Amino acid sequence: MNELKLKDLYDGFRDPKTIKALKNLVDKEAAKFPGKINVMEVCGGHTHTIMKYGLNQLMPENIDFIHGPGCPVCVMPKERIDHAYILSLQEDVILVTLGDMIKVPGSHGSLQDARSKGADVRFVYSPLDTIKIARENPNKKIIFFAIGFETTTPMTAALLEHVTKNKIENIYFHINHITVPEPMKVLLESNDCQIDAFIGPSHVSVITGSKIYKEFVTKYKKPVVVAGFEPVDVMQSILAIVKQFNENRCELEIEYSRAVSNDGNIAAQNLINKYFTKATHFRWRGLGDIPDSALRLRDEYSNMDAEIIYKNILPNEKIDDHKLCICGDIMRGVAKPNDCKVFGKACKPSSPLGSCMVSSEGACSAYYKYGNLIK
Ligand code: SF4
Ligand code: SF4
């Protein structure tokens, strides 16, 4: 598809007139509702849409967006970043990872810092690019530091499938794939929970199907609307949520029906199940230890598991964040980035103290970027 056609496709979802019309409808519905509605957008991609298009400023007084833990970089605890750092500094290792991971500070520094100490750290757009690196470096151990929610797990599974089928012997895996529903439950069960409804992550739902959110409406009685990433998608989803409150309904709706179904992508789910099983727990930055909230390689693939192979040099103790950083409260939806004392001062994208400022999906980075703070 050429660029012009892609633009045509998106234009309708960003049309100011449509957004304005939806704002008027949201205002009318919200005026009928006597209380306040806090809507958590779980996913960092939605936080960016909200801030980029100023949707938070279009909301009536009684509707507020609160930001969630849906950015794989933001929720990665320091000890796992230290794992990547330590592995990258092994003499015969090339460490491969995705996106913003390279900039997140661990307790010794970031992967970028490791690079300046001589580590060979490569950044790829797709896990499958690791194959080329392995082929070109037959005498090196290539460790793929896998991160991400249900969205990126199928790509890691596809890499595993290629590695096993083609008997590639120099690719290893450090798995940090996490799952969305478990932290959402932890947030709902916490004493200071302020969440009234959810905007469900869309990319995750394309893979898993909307069925993973059923429990939130049946057991926890919180409406969930799975939304696309365009501003019109988010406005439509807010309208659907307020309507549910006014009509005393609590339902799971799919606004993003152009890509999401109830069952999701079954082929991708099967591929994931072939290689992964649930890890007993994962320590989320800001949220603590959450049982069953991550995946690990199945035992039959432990010969490729860098965490097992290098277990003697990888620390396991919990490492706390910078004491001024309140990313944890932000990801639990009980604080906003500008509640942080060092936001935009000691902590900026050029000198981040926490990963919410590093990641392009992080709430602090979105507030900084779209709150006119970039000089
Ligand atoms: S992978 Fe996509 S859906 Fe998941 S948190 Fe990131 S942007 Fe949101
Ligand atoms: S502004 Fe920086 S220090 Fe404060 S919460 Fe965000 S990332 Fe953490």
In a domain, 290, yes or no: yes
pLDDT over 70 for what percent of the chain? 96
In a domain, 258, yes or no: no
33-75 per-position pLDDT tens digit: 999 999 999 999 999 999 999 999 999 999 999 999 988 888 9
In a domain, 193, yes or no: yes
Whether the predicted pLDDT of 340 surpasses 90: yes
94 and 65 housed in the same domain = no
Output the CA 151–ligand 1 centroid distance in Å: 7
| Pairing between β-strand 93-98 and β-strand 141-148 as defined by DSSP bridges | parallel
24 and 115 housed in the same domain = no
- For the domain that residue 148 is a member of, what is the CATH number? 3.40.50.11740
Compute the average pLDDT of residues 346-361. Answer: 88
What Cα–Cα distance (Å) separates residue 220 from each residue in 125, 142, 208?
A: 37, 43, 20
Whether the predicted pLDDT of 9 surpasses 80: no
Is 327's C-beta closer than 6 angstroms to any atom of ligand 2? yes
Compute the average pLDDT of residues 262-282. Answer: 97
Whether the predicted pLDDT of 159 surpasses 60: yes
191 and 235 housed in the same domain = yes
124 and 210 housed in the same domain = no
Model confidence at 114, pLDDT cuts 50, 70, 90, reads very high
191 and 236 housed in the same domain = yes
- Residue identifier of the C-alpha nearest atom 7 of ligand 2: 354
161 and 227 housed in the same domain = no
Is 290's C-beta closer than 6 angstroms to any atom of ligand 2? no
Output the CA 112–ligand 2 centroid distance in Å: 20
97 forms beta bridges with 123
The pTM assigned to this predicted structure is 0.91
53 and 144 housed in the same domain = no
What Cα–Cα distance (Å) separates residue 16 from each residue in 19, 49, 54?
A: 5, 14, 12
Q: Determine the structural domain holding residue 328 and report its residue range.
A: 19-70+181-243+324-369
193-242 per-position pLDDT tens digit: 999 999 999 999 999 999 999 999 999 999 999 999 999 999 999 999 99
Burial of residue 250, with CB atoms counted within 10 A of its CB: 0-12 exposed, 13-18 middle, 19 or more buried = middle
Residues in the chain: 375
Long-range CB contacts (< 8 A, 24+ apart) of 220-224?
220/185, 220/188, 221/250, 222/188, 222/195, 222/196, 222/197, 222/198, 222/250, 223/196, 223/197, 223/198, 223/249, 223/250, 223/251, 223/252, 223/253, 224/197, 224/198, 224/199, 224/200, 224/252, 224/253
Q: Cα(373)–Cα(291) distance, rounded to whole angstroms? A: 38
Quote the pLDDT of residue 320.
Answer: 82
Output the CA 221–ligand 1 centroid distance in Å: 24
Q: List all residues whose CB is within 6 A of at least one atom of ligand 1.
A: 43-45, 70-71, 149, 151, 201-204, 361
In a domain, 375, yes or no: no
Q: Cα(242)–Cα(193) distance, rounded to whole angstroms? A: 19
Q: In the listed set 310, 332, 347, which residue is the last one of a domain according to the structure? A: 310
Is 294's C-beta closer than 6 angstroms to any atom of ligand 2? no
In a domain, 2, yes or no: no
Q: Cα(128)–Cα(160) distance, rounded to whole angstroms? A: 9
Quote the pLDDT of residue 374.
Answer: 43
In a domain, 53, yes or no: yes
In a domain, 108, yes or no: yes
Quote the pLDDT of residue 335.
Answer: 93
Model confidence at 1, pLDDT cuts 50, 70, 90, reads very low
Quote the pLDDT of residue 75.
Answer: 92
Cβ 255 vs Cβ 231: under 8 Å = no
Whether the predicted pLDDT of 99 surpasses 80: no
Quote the pLDDT of residue 375.
Answer: 37
85 and 146 housed in the same domain = yes
Is 366's C-beta closer than 6 angstroms to any atom of ligand 2? no
Quote the pLDDT of residue 105.
Answer: 84
Whether the predicted pLDDT of 82 surpasses 80: yes
Helices (H), the chain: 3-11, 16-32, 44-52, 55-58, 78-88, 111-116, 129-136, 153-165, 181-189, 202-208, 214-218, 231-246, 266-275, 306-309, 327-331, 355-358, 363-370
Cβ 253 vs Cβ 242: under 8 Å = no
Cβ 271 vs Cβ 161: under 8 Å = yes
162 and 196 housed in the same domain = no
Model confidence at 5, pLDDT cuts 50, 70, 90, reads low
Quote the pLDDT of residue 372.
Answer: 54
146 and 235 housed in the same domain = no
Among 100, 332, 357, 359, which is best to mutate for testing ligand 2, by the most ligand atoms less than 8 A from CB?
357
- Residue identifier of the C-alpha nearest atom 3 of ligand 1: 203
In a domain, 14, yes or no: no
Q: Domain total for the chain?
A: 2
- For the domain that residue 361 is a member of, what is the CATH number? 3.40.50.11750
99 and 130 housed in the same domain = yes
108 and 224 housed in the same domain = no
